[in-house]
Structure 1
Amino acid sequence: MHIDLSYRLSGNQPIHCDHGYALFASVSRLLPEVHAENGIAIHPIGGRQNGDRQMTLMPWSTLSFRVAAEKIPVLLSLAGKSLVLHDATVRVGVPEVRTLAPATALRSRLVVIKVAHTDAAALTAETFAAAARKQMEQLAISSEVMLSIGKRRTLRMKQREVVGYEVIVEGLTAEESIALQENGIGGKRHMGCGVFLPLGEKVMP
């Protein structure tokens, strides 16, 4: 069984909207197990966008991990620690556990899928949708579900950018919904990609 382990975040400095790599690196410095464990997914941090690709932390902003329940102990020592995200420092609060609940519609802000023989410039929404369908089929998700490809987005990793898209999946059964939430699709889930939440839940736009 997978759960979301969430810590309230506090900080007075704005953070970059594209913080997936910086967040993963900062957490890994405190918990090397996270760097080595590919089964741990990290949600994007939500907040209020204030322009220039930056956002302000809000009372509901959290650092959240999607993990198998037995891996919770690995993450508990983060409570009370500070994380450095580019030029900002944020404080990690007390953790809360939330079980995954089925929802007929799920959204991931950014999914990245490496498509063979296709570079970033040539990655169209249609090509991406076909690759996403193929990965969902591997999770036993019906081809009848509605797949919507949204905004084209990027994840900056040091000196390069990885290209992907926002993804919304609708018409899921309870079993399909849990499978997609637990496994996601695409890569870089430890950097906030391919992590699905119920459509309409408060996250970064």
Structure 2
Amino acid sequence: MNWAGWPENKPEEYAPRMIDLQFDLVGTTIPTENAQLLSVALQELVPWLGEEPGIGIQHLKGAETNSGDATLNINRRTKLFLRVPRARVDAMQRLVGQTLDLAGHVLQIGDFKTREFSPFANIYAHFVDTGSAGEEQFVQDVMRELDGRFQLRCGFICGKQQTLQSTSGPLYGYSLMLHDVPPHKSLQLQDEGLGRNRLLGCGIFIPHKSIAPVIPAIL
């Protein structure tokens, strides 16, 4: 999706309020649907995660098992990613050494590293939830938020509809690739996210060097 004839974006500076934390994890398996379980478990350990605006928790990824059940295998390359305020980084040290129990799947949280945002022109979110299930309305929601909240008109591509289970019921969303984004807007979008439910991993953008590898996967 593209707009035509928008004003040229002038270079500006943007200082992100948030930063990414990458935690080591020790465990063997996780539930396939782990976004809600992970969010609840982390908020039990660090209650203010649910009170601080903008905090993001990316759901865990793994490899399918041969058992055919709703379980994924993980290894030492599996990481826990949190997007938190810079002012709270030291406070996140309390997670190190803690245990997560995701419906019987036990994970030990290890040390973490910080990771700064990169002002790439292409940024990608695995799942964006605007509250609209239909693709046409979703596209309108995205255009409205980009134009109104971020004062940005850029190209974007949305993928197939996805479903995410939450305590309030199923959430419907789409993957979203934004391209030709000016550097300061790229940082702002990574900093603030798009749509709803950041604690369930929704609307969290990460940089991509090129849109080419992503397009076949999301269409």
Q: Do they fold alike, i.e. is TM over 0.5? A: yes
Aligned residue for 1:127, secondary structure, equals: helix
Q: Which residue of 1 aligns with 2:72?
A: 55
Q: Which residue of 1 aligns with 2:83?
A: 66
The 1:52/1:138 distance shift into structure 2, 3 A limit, reads: farther
Larger CA deviation: 44-53 vs 125-134: 44-53
Q: Which residue of 2 aligns with 1:118?
A: none
Larger CA deviation: 51-60 vs 128-137: 51-60
Is 1:161 aligned to 2:176, yes or no? no
Aligned residue for 1:7, secondary structure, equals: strand
Is 1:140 aligned to 2:156, yes or no? no
Q: Once the 2 structures are TM-superposed, how far is the Cα of residue 159 of structure 1 from its aligned partner?
A: 6.3
Report if aligned partners of 1:129, 1:147 keep a CA contact under 8 Å in 2.
no
Tell me the distance in 2 between the aligned counterparts of 1:167 and 1:53.
25
Moved over 6 A (4+): none
What letter corresponds to residue 80 of structure 1 in structure 2? G
Q: How many aligned residue pairs are there?
A: 193
Report if aligned partners of 1:9, 1:57 keep a CA contact under 8 Å in 2.
no
Report the aligned-residue RMSD. 2.0
Report if aligned partners of 1:43, 1:63 keep a CA contact under 8 Å in 2.
yes
What letter corresponds to residue 21 of structure 1 in structure 2? Q
Corresponding residue to 2:207 among 182, 198, 204: 198
Corresponding residue to 1:33 among 27, 48, 56: 48
- C-alpha distance after superposition, 1:115-154 (max 9, x if no partner): 4xxxxxxx321210110111112343532x2111102111
Unmatched segments (≥5 aa) in structure 2: 1-15, 211-217
* TM-score, normalising length: structure 2: 0.81
Tell me the distance in 2 between the aligned counterparts of 1:46 and 1:173.
30
Q: Once the 2 structures are TM-superposed, how far is the Cα of residue 172 of structure 1 from its aligned partner?
A: 0.9
Report if aligned partners of 1:110, 1:153 keep a CA contact under 8 Å in 2.
yes
* TM-score, normalising length: structure 1: 0.86
- C-alpha distance after superposition, 1:59-108 (max 9, x if no partner): 22111111221121232100011101123111111010111111111111
Tell me the distance in 1 between the aligned counterparts of 2:149 and 2:63.
34
Q: Which residue of 2 aligns with 1:171?
A: 180
Identity of aligned residues (%): 24
What letter corresponds to residue 189 of structure 1 in structure 2? R
Q: Which residue of 2 aligns with 1:45?
A: 60
Unmatched segments (≥5 aa) in structure 1: 116-122
